[in-house]
A and B are shown apart, each in its own frame.
Chain A
């Protein structure tokens, strides 16, 4: 069974600084998707960034980028130029690419609560 581990329950960053959130996962599959989701206090989960396992290039979305190390099964999120609106719970998640199998099952880490100090 796949597992996702986020080892940092809480993180804090100064506004305009850079912060990196860690995530490791375990799987025997070769094809999968990895995501970072953000859940602000208003609680709707929204996608921050995604990565297809078959792509070696790290995904980037504006101030958000990932460091995807497939062999090490590591998927960290870097937030540059942190803003007050970045304060939220961040969840790392894994999704199988197996259409006929458990593709619908998103496996989440426990989350990292990010605080941004003005």
Chain B
């Protein structure tokens, strides 16, 4: 069974640009959540999508947005990039219920964004 796939793995942008990151969840997982990881703030929840609907949102500005498609793949977008947006962006997929639900989130390898 393929794991969570994130693309691109690395990218460099300049301030003011926008970026789109992609995440393909484990087959059968309909919940996809995104996290920002920085040395200073640690791991912070961005948002969660389930069945193409945003279910939860963390405390991030509106420049951070996302969406989920009917095949459960998800994208997140950051507009008007700032230096402080440099981070590792992690995507995780999971079930939300069902006979095999264990509560676990499965993580991708992340997308490393550098903003210059």
Interface segment, one of A14-22, A65-73, A74-82, A100-108: A100-108
Q: Does B63 contact A (CB under 8 A)?
A: no
Smallest Cβ-Cβ distance to A46: which chain B residue: B107
Stretch from B17-25, B40-48, B78-86 at the A interface: B40-48
Which residues on A are within 8 Å of B, measured CB to CB? 33, 35, 37, 42-47, 50, 52, 91, 95, 97, 99, 102-111
* Bound Cα distance A43, B50 (Å): 25
Q: Report how far A102 CA is from B94 CA in the complex, Å.
A: 13
In the complex, what residue of chain B is closest to A44 when comparing beta carbons?
B109
A-B contact pairs, 22 of them (CB 8 A): A33-B104, A35-B105, A42-B109, A43-B88, A43-B109, A44-B108, A46-B107, A50-B102, A50-B103, A52-B103, A99-B97, A104-B31, A104-B48, A104-B94, A105-B33, A105-B58, A106-B33, A106-B35, A106-B105, A108-B42, A109-B42, A110-B42
User: In the complex, are the beta carbons of B96 and A104 less than 8 A apart?
Assistant: yes
Q: Would A45 and B90 count as touching, CB distance under 8 A?
A: yes
The answer to whether B108 and A104 have CB atoms under 8 Å apart is: no
Kindly report which residue of chain B lies nearest to residue A111, judged by CB atoms: B42
Chain B residue contacts of A110, Cβ below 8 A = 42
Besides the contacts A43-B109, A50-B103, A104-B33, what 15 more A-B pairs have beta carbons closer than 8 Å? A33-B103, A37-B107, A43-B88, A47-B104, A50-B102, A91-B43, A97-B103, A99-B97, A103-B96, A104-B56, A104-B94, A104-B96, A105-B56, A105-B58, A106-B45
Chain B residues, CB < 8 A from A52: 103
Q: Which 7 residue pairs are nearest across A and B when measured between Cβ atoms? A: A104-B48, A33-B103, A45-B107, A108-B43, A44-B109, A110-B42, A105-B45
A42 to B104, CA, bound (A): 20
CB nearest to B45 among chain A residues: A105
Q: Which residues of B contact A45 (CB under 8 A)?
A: 90, 92, 107
